[in-house]
């Protein structure tokens, strides 16, 4: 059936040099235990050139393999040493071992994808919380938290540039943790920025932030955002994990 659509050339993407080599071996219908290194090396380099022409960045791993192929090729060309040493190992042996090993896991991966996969082929009851989290929020990572914290600090700094305080700081990290737990237990969700609204000093901000990090680490609080760079919400997750606070 002739199609009016223009011919599309799909460039296969490879997961790495081994994947590309396996592709070339299959394409050329080569026995993996008797790879004609010269031909494969040539095709491999052609492929790299094509990638270069298409402005695809070539990962260093591909170049390392190119060098390895070159080395094997030259070793194959060397005259065989005197037969005093029995059974000189084939220069290709190590590469073949790696290719076969990799092929093994590629096969395993292919089989995995054909399983009856949950949330693709089969479905089960899903907890309410899980469903909501999945649809609406993503977990904020440490860097987002630090970024948000820097923002809080910046705002604070500009609001009291010339006030110098000599108050004795008496609040401890444990106090703050306790305070946060009771606050979050009540209101469940709070915006990260709001946690610092009552903070009177830089010390207070820092200790609040440390307390938040401690509680997230302990699993009592969670940090979520609707999308990357969205405001971070601090959510109360429950205290099943720690008892001593």
Partner 1 sequence: MEQNYIKKAIECIILVSEKPVSSKELIEVFPDLDKEELKRCLDELIYEWNELSRGFKLYEVAGGYQFRTLSDYSEIIIKFKQSKPFRLSRAALEVLAIIAYRQPITRIEIDQIRGVDSSGVIGLLLDKRLIEMRGRKEVIGRPFLYGTTEEFLQTFGLKSLKDLPTLKELEEIQKSMEESAKVY
Footprint on this chain of partner 1 (rule: CB under 8 A): 15-19, 25-26, 29-33, 59, 61, 65, 98, 100-113, 115-127, 130, 139
CA distances from 107 to 18, 19, 27, 102, 120 (A): 14, 12, 17, 9, 21
Which one, 54 or 112, has the nearer CB to partner 1?
A: 112
Min separation Cβ 19 and partner 1, Å = 8
Min separation Cβ 138 and partner 1, Å = 9
Contact 50, 57 (CB under 8 A): no
Which one, 77 or 109, has the nearer CB to partner 1?
A: 109
Min separation Cβ 233 and partner 1, Å = 18
Q: Select from 74, 71, 68 the least CA-distant residue to 18.
A: 68
Min separation Cβ 11 and partner 1, Å = 15
Which one, 3 or 128, has the nearer CB to partner 1?
A: 128
Which one, 118 or 173, has the nearer CB to partner 1?
A: 118
Min separation Cβ 70 and partner 1, Å = 16
Buried b (16+ CB within 10 A) or exposed e, 68-91: ebeebbeeeeeeeeeeeeeeeeeb
Can you list the positions of beta strands (E) in the chain?
Answer: 138-139, 189-191, 221-225, 233-236
Burial class of residue 23 in the structure, from the number of CB atoms within 10 Å of its CB (0-12 exposed, 13-18 middle, 19+ buried): middle
Which one, 180 or 216, has the nearer CB to partner 1?
A: 216
> How many angstroms separate the CA atoms of 33 and 93, rounded?
8
């Amino acid at each position: 059936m002739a199609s009016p659509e223009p011919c599309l050339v799909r460039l296969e993407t490879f997961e790495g040099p081994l994947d590309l080599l396996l592709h070339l071996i299959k394409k050329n219908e080569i026995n993996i235990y008797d790879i004609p290194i010269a031909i494969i090396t040539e095709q491999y380099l052609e492929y790299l050139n094509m990638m270069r022409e298409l402005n695809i960045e070539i990962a260093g791993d591909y170049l390392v393999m190119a060098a390895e192929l070159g080395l094997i090729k030259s070793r194959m060309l060397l005259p065989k040493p005197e037969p005093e040493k029995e059974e000189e190992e084939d220069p290709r042996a190590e590469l073949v071992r790696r290719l076969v090993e990799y092929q093994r896991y590629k096969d395993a991966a292919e089989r995995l994808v054909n399983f009856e996969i949950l949330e693709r082929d089969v479905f089960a009851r899903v907890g309410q919380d899980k469903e909501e989290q999945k649809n609406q929020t993503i977990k904020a990572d440490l860097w987002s938290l630090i970024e948000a914290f820097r923002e809080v600090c910046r705002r604070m700094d500009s609001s009291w540039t010339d006030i110098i305080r000599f108050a004795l700081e008496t609040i401890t990290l444990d106090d703050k943790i306790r305070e946060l737990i009771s606050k979050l237990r009540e209101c469940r969700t709070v915006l990260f920025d709001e946690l610092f609204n009552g903070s009177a000093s830089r010390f207070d901000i820092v200790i609040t932030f440390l307390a938040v990090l401690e509680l997230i680490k302990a699993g009592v609080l969670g940090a979520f955002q609707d999308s990357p760079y969205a405001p971070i919400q601090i959510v109360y997750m429950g205290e099943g994990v720690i008892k001593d606070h």
